[in-house]
Structure 1
């Protein structure tokens, strides 16, 4: 279970504390178990500093605390504080990346039969899609729906999300696509073949949680080969 530690203190020497943390990061390379750290300053009280440190588990946090470098830096940190820091230990019971959930929603909605769903709860109206397989970028929600309908017309398909990483307003999704070629696709008559391809998509999300832009990389050449659409000289 992911474990988070909140460290609160009061200090007017934040710059010195930041340099201290930089030194700890350098000295504990290859040894520390902390995976994420955020230092924040209270808007209502500039001397109130909160550090949020994430660990894979409570046990990992204890191993991190046991490092001699951690103890030494902590003692120096205390000297920079106006009063003794306080600690709050938290077991994470829910950790949801909301932008990642929106991206997953698209991969769930795209498969299906017939007309594409509205998708306006997933994309902004002026969504901008970068797909190297298209001669021009696709812009606008209606254009996205038409793209989805092309794929729906050619295949019964599904996406499997293999990995997903979210940072800031970006979500990177590594996926596997599996389809049954049931209808004409880009001029290729239905073959009845079961085909597979892999790819990666990066989505940029707006502050209200909708997708504004997307960049696609996927094995379209491999798909065409599986459909028998490539001349041997093209392989």
Structure 2
């Protein structure tokens, strides 16, 4: 279970507090168990400072607390504060990264062929960048048409999400695509062969909708599997 510690203090030395966090990161390199640290100031009181530190578990947090480097940094932190800082220890019971959910919904939609549902996840100004396409998709209709083309060419068409990483307004999705070549594809007659393709799509979201997409995938490998190209055997 993810564990979060909130450190609450009052200080007029916010810049020094930031430098102290930099020092802590440097000194605990290779030993640190924290995965995410945030320092924030209260908009209503600029001297009210909150530090939020995330760990994989309570046990990992305690392991880091016992590091001599952590103890030294804490002593310096206390010296910067107007009064001793307070601590709140939290076990995370729900952690939803909403942009990830939108992207999962996108891949579900294009896998199931619920094309009308694309408007639920793609912004009206959606556009994408694909090195394998000479003409980039610059609308929902163009994206829908391309997915329909794949569905017509491959039965059992499905994306499986292997990994997702979210930061800020972007989500990186690593996926595996599978299908059976039962229809004509870019002029290639059906081969009835099973095809597997791996790739990565980076989505940028705004207001809970996908604005842009950058695609990178093994298109050449898919063509080789249906016999469209010959690859030298090494």
CA RMSD of aligned residues (A): 1.4
Give the number of equivalent residue pairs: 232
Residue 9 of structure 1 is matched in structure 2 by 9
- TM-score normalized with structure 1 length: 0.95
Indicate yes or no: 2:146 matched with 1:147: yes
Q: Using the alignment, how far apart are the partners of 2:199 and 2:20 within structure 1?
A: 42
Residue 213 of structure 1 is matched in structure 2 by 212
Task: Describe the SS at the equivalent of 1:16.
Answer: helix
Q: Using the alignment, how far apart are the partners of 2:225 and 2:39 within structure 1?
A: 51
Confirm or deny: 8 A CA contact 1:116 1:146 kept in the other structure.
no
Residue 164 of structure 1 is matched in structure 2 by 164
Confirm or deny: 8 A CA contact 1:2 1:91 kept in the other structure.
yes
Q: Using the alignment, how far apart are the partners of 1:41 and 1:178 within structure 2?
A: 48
- TM-score normalized with structure 2 length: 0.96
Q: Using the alignment, how far apart are the partners of 2:50 and 2:64 within structure 1?
A: 19
Alignment of 1:42-53 (within 5 A): 42-53=42-53
Indicate yes or no: 2:114 matched with 1:104: no
Residue 204 of structure 1 is matched in structure 2 by 204
Deviation of the 1:231 alpha carbon: 4.5
Residue 181 of structure 1 is matched in structure 2 by 181
Deviation of the 1:100 alpha carbon: 1.0
Alignment of 1:25-40 (within 5 A): 25-40=25-40
Q: Using the alignment, how far apart are the partners of 2:14 and 2:111 within structure 1?
A: 51
Deviation of the 1:184 alpha carbon: 1.2
Task: Describe the SS at the equivalent of 1:47.
Answer: strand
Deviation of the 1:116 alpha carbon: 2.4
Task: Provide, for residues 119-149 of structure 1, a one-character-per-residue CA deviation record: whole Å limited to 9, x for no partner.
Answer: 1110001111101111021101111111111
Residue 131 of structure 2 is matched in structure 1 by 132
Confirm or deny: 8 A CA contact 2:109 2:117 kept in the other structure.
no
Task: Describe the SS at the equivalent of 2:82.
Answer: coil
Confirm or deny: 8 A CA contact 1:154 1:183 kept in the other structure.
yes
Q: Using the alignment, how far apart are the partners of 1:34 and 1:231 within structure 2?
A: 49
Indicate yes or no: 2:23 matched with 1:23: yes
The gaps in structure 1 that reach 5 residues or longer are none
Task: Provide, for residues 193-217 of structure 1, a one-character-per-residue CA deviation record: whole Å limited to 9, x for no partner.
Answer: 11101001101111x1110000111
Residue 225 of structure 1 is matched in structure 2 by 224
